[in-house]
Structure 1
């Protein structure tokens, strides 16, 4: 298959997996070979491995890992128990997002495989579908969409969304196309998705027959590659397309955008992409709102001259971006206040929730929203961190500026890693623009090639002073 594989540390072969798995004596070479190469295994060994999986244990020897990997390459009836998942329903408000929690060994195999063939996936995804593992892909999507709306050549940007996209993906068509687009990934996807799998929720069994299992590390790469043929069908010299998973953006003249939308609604269902006009917004420039409303009349698409989030960051008029930022800061401040109450009795839990979850919300917004918008509206969040959370965590009075700088240091340097957001907003936004500039330029040009030149330029911008 063209891989140059060398034996490496087992921690590298099992990235971001819980610490107890580091006891596995296995290399990435073994994971990859057993995952990407078909094989057979006696029924006795299959039953043994299934029993081990049920007990949620893995053999601490390389021999035990090898048998587990053989299991994944067995015929579909034999690996059905191995692929079964517990199903958790998350509230999307509105709607439900089903998350499948699979066996630990399956996650290890998927992560190890992706770490070795990520460049194949990136190259196959290109510069249009940005959920294929491209460096800072989601931030590049936001910056490119904002540049498209600000361009004098465009009248509006259409932000399209689909109904239950990941679960509605046409699995048969997707696997067929991925075999040609990215053969390196095709084998493991065929082995895990060619037959319906069991999903268990509250004692009931459901069959997963279409789409991807959200929670599977392979789900996002599979969706990225499965959407490439549809994106190709939608290509138009008058339209600039930007995709991040099922969140599509198209910028251009309003008449061309209507043609693009009609093509999407006509061609999308064949690939399992069902456009939802109620979740789709046409964001027009000033003076084009009436034309947009007339052109998209009776399509169900929402038309606004203000703006909308894409994905999760505001795009549109300055007034809309300011109001969006203010509402987000207010909600974050309330959450920080709740954490401060928790920190009085459970400081470790509150600290983990902040650094491993909550802080990423405003970090992402600072990366993708102009600093002139964010830095002036982060004062309530600064106050909540400085006057409520930090005192609750440390048991001391609110810190002064010098102490805040000390607390902002990472833990390895004696700090807490709690940074005051307004002090970082300008730097974070400028750094994000700099790192994603190469990819953004290729997106604007609609260059489908994602090569080593883009990767090198992005890495140099990220790590070199």
Structure 2
């Protein structure tokens, strides 16, 4: 900026620049007359007049720069010299002095002083922390563990033999006391200690697998569950990484020496862990963390929640009411020694150790941990540790074998099934309990459910649609509608919407165990271990015991509950009553008399199995011409609803849209849009965009499009699409008008990523195909017919709602000869939508009224993998590859991709490029354009070279991660010129990278014309180089010790929109194959990672506060869009890859 000011003052000493140019450049005149950034303080200028105006140090008369802290300067003086300065003078300089003489910032005087930084603890006294407060916190933790004097007395008497000598009751109480401590633990331990922690975990798991009795199992589980709290706890306060690692090493030594007393007494309890409602800043950080872990569901739930209740007596009473205890807990031990206990007769588990490993690694690292604090991120680290990780994998397999063959006994099963209870606050102030079990137990439950497969689904046929049934929701809705519209009896029918009260938490475990014992004996040991004893629910220092129901979060929970419900419903399978159940939500269709008899009998029989009907929420639905007088006497106390107002699972039962039938859709639409507006206000724009696209958007209304005719709900869907599109526009930094092309929505806002769009699904586009596919899937689930047979229900359904005809009317003619037939398209929503969007893309690309630049932009972003950088948040690491974009950088890239003008477009037509050559000092002077095209191609700007460098660096880092030898710009030692023909040498292939403008001189109005011209030029240059000397050019030995002479050449040419030349595809395919083998990835994942790494550097641009060759602080231009065209902008820094520092990944 100062360079521009000097240039203007030298050329125009008496003329003030125009206000629009001066404002566009974000400059102003300083007090001394020098041009400085508008946001720069007067004290930051380094000229002579401004330097003399700076304040002096009251001790040494040195001029002080107030832009930075003065703590370091005053720390050079003695405490006595600083004490002689009046405190008011020090405060004007932003520093202060503590009682011990320590210099600190003024704001820090209001906070306690760390004892590790105190010069004299005697003088500071009560102003210290970590000395007195740590002792207070430890005493407070000891007070929380009341009634455990005998346990700690045994610890003091025999500390080295505590786990081996303590009784079962003592060990359980010890675990309760340790897990009640509020501590912070490592999410990922230091890398050099990961193998040690992994070996400790493997040893504890091996002990658990070999434990033959209840006492031995409790001992093994006590060590396993208390290890993170006692050993992996973080030290108090903020300490350097080296000090924290030393603290962990010390506790590992004490653990191995069985110094349990020292470990327990020195646990750094933190009584100030955050609880309650999250602040907006903390909420945004938590959402960003979940999104970067690809845990979209957790991020959405966090925004929907209203915080966490403080644990009060009222909250505890509500939680106890929701988790009732059984009247006779001895009944839970039904057949405690039944089949499956004998390991000799049990079959091997149907999974391998690698299955357990892959399942745990698939859990997002931000997923909640159980009471023991063995988090998913910590288990990821130990499983990925070389050598030691394989031992953990083998130990986990043996534990699963022991659990499936013989199970855990008594209190060992209770410790295995314990959970951390979180009292979430509902919108109305109520309590929603969330039980978070151990990660290991959840993983083994998922494996067991996966191995049951179709057997679990068949056991619940034909009434239950919520467990393992494909398109179960659609089938439940269709079954209810057809039962009402086409009754099997001549009398008028009504419907009964049944609501079970707290069903999952009250179902009888005695019945549950008995049914599993009879139907799934292979699951018996596992289920007996989990539900034969009351489950401890830990809520801080409080403990609740759940002796009824299945635990929330247990993968087997829905199946076990449905088994009990199916056992009750099997007694009411009369042909006069049609039942449809989706987990605990049921709808029964029959005559009013039959419905009254059903409800009376169901209430009587269900009570014996712990189930009860909530009559306050159970609804009697009137159909046809029925009135309230048709309600039978036994159902008069129920809610009475008309057919046009009834809904099931959030879907209107009346598919015609008459009356108030569409009220549930409008209500859900408003709810989703309110949440979408909250998401659009998040400061992390990129994560907000992916949260809107992946969860808070059309996905939440997708079940409506598959169950309601498109023409009935078209108006509601169009209104939702418009409101949601405005939220997305705000997130990406555009105006709502930018979404439109006249009166129509631009195709970029509707097409999927693979076809050149943002991947924003418009419900009005997919509704006809979704309804046709949902109807076909629902009919097949109801009739259970083979794939080649048309379901009879579908024929009757289509005759009423014409789902196939509506979809075919919106479906374009086949675009290619190999397109699927209409029947296949109608059965697959994906294929039918693909044909619809392919036709939209063809019309969009074939528009002849576009400019040449717009023509190439459309074809560029429509190329395969061109928009791979938009597929997920940039900070999500895929096999170690990720780059974090700042919000304004990401928004600039999106505007560039959409071809939108910049925020400063009004200055573009009046301003010339101020870029200055670093060598000659010449000014570019070309007139700027609103789309920033000149900024991309300015010969004085660094954009062209920067894009080239980023692509080359990304390719080099990817090849290096694949285990290949790479050399950056290898020197050619046998030519007369100094030219280097290769940007990257990968193995024996020399790669020459180039990023071109699609409309460069000589390019035709055909897709990829500039790429082909550049590729031909590079091949010609390489041919000339090789012809000058037989054989490929040799590489200098000084370039890389392992470098070899290239034997092949690959020109890697891309345009600025991410389109890739065809000549490079074979080489990139082989490179992705090498990466896939090195990282042991699935097929296709390595290719996606590679194209994601290449697509962003070629198209992304980052605003910088510098012209060519001049570097200044980045503050003035931070908020300007990178495609402004007002200056030549520097590129984004090189892609962060495996070589990036750990703290920057």
- 5+ residue gaps, structure 1, are 1-19, 24-33, 443-451
| Cα distance change, pair 356–99 in 1 and its aligned pair in 2 (3 A) | farther
- Aligned match of 2:575: 237
In the TM superposition, residue 114 of structure 1 has moved relative to its aligned partner by 1.2
Paired residues of 1:289 and 1:304 also in contact (CA < 8 A): no
Q: Hey, what does 2:593 align to over in structure 1?
A: 255
1:120-160 deviation per Cα after TM superposition (whole angstroms, max 9, x unaligned): 10011112111221111122111211222222445211101
Cα displacement string for residues 66-109 of structure 1 (whole angstroms, at most 9, x for unaligned residues): 35436743223224333211112345666544221111111111
Render the CA deviation track for 1:430-450: whole Å, top value 9, x for unaligned: 2111112122236xxxxxxxx
**Contact in 2 for aligned 1:341/1:392 (Cα 8 Å):** yes
Distance 1:192 1:68 in 2: 14
| Cα distance change on mapping 1:378 and 1:464 into 2, 3 Å | closer
Give the superposed CA RMSD: 3.2
Matched, 1:64 2:404: no
- Partner residue, 1:315: 653
Residue 10 of structure 1 is matched in structure 2 by none
Q: Give the CA deviation at 1:224.
A: 1.3
Secondary structure, counterpart of 1:337 in structure 2: helix
Q: CA offset at residue 405 of structure 1?
A: 3.6
Residue 437 in 1 paired to residue 779 in 2? Answer: yes
**How big is each residue's C-alpha offset from its partner over 1:305-359, in whole Å with a ceiling of 9 and x where there is no partner?**
24322111111472232222223223333332332233xx222332343234323
Q: For 1:333, which of 665, 673, 681 is the aligned residue?
A: 673
- Distance in 2 of aligned mates of 1:51 and 1:235: 50
In 1, Cα distance between equivalents of 2:694 and 2:727: 19
Match of residue 225 from structure 2: 50
User: Residues 50 and 82 of structure 1 are in contact (CA less than 8 Å); yes or no, is this contact kept in structure 2?
Assistant: no
SS of 1:304 mapped into structure 2:
strand
Secondary structure of 1:358 counterpart: coil
1:379 to 712, 718, 725: 718
CA contact (8 A) 2:650 2:664 kept: no
2:467 aligned with 1:132 = yes
Q: 1:202 to 1:398 in 2, by over 3 A?
A: farther
Residues 1:430 and 1:101: Cα distance change in structure 2 (over 3 Å): same
Structure 2: 5+ residue runs without aligned partners?
A: 1-187, 189-193, 195-205, 229-371, 384-389, 792-823, 833-1145
- On the 8 A contact 1:111/1:217 being kept in 2, the answer is yes
SS in 2 for 1:283: strand
Aligned counterpart, 1:120: 455
Higher helix share: 1
CA contact (8 A) 2:504 2:550 kept: yes
Q: How many residues align?
A: 419
Q: Distance in 2 between matches of 1:204 and 1:302?
A: 39
Q: Where does 1:27-426 land on structure 2 (aligned, <5 Å)?
A: 40=212, 42-43=216-217, 45-52=220-227, 54-56=372-374, 57-58=378-379, 59-60=382-383, 61=390, 62-69=393-400, 72=403, 73-91=407-425, 96-152=431-487, 153=489, 155-293=493-631, 295-296=632-633, 299-305=636-642, 306-316=644-654, 318-342=658-682, 345-359=683-697, 360-395=699-734, 398-400=738-740, 404-411=746-753, 415-426=757-768
Asked if the contact 1:165–1:246 (Cα under 8 Å) also holds between the matched residues in 2, the reply is yes
Paired residues of 2:750 and 2:759 also in contact (CA < 8 A)? yes
For the residues of structure 1 that align with 2:508 and 2:831, how far apart are their CA atoms? 43
TM-score by length of 2: 0.34
Q: Deviation of residue 217 (structure 1)?
A: 1.3
Q: What's the secondary structure of 1:278's corresponding residue? A: coil
Distance 2:726 2:746 in 1: 11
SS at match of 1:274: coil
Query: Whose RCO is larger (CA < 8 A, sep 6+)?
Result: 1
Distance 1:378 1:52, change over 3 A: same
- 1:156–1:252 CA contact under 8 A, matched in 2: yes
Residues 64/275 of structure 1: CA separation in 2 closer, same or farther (3 Å cut): same
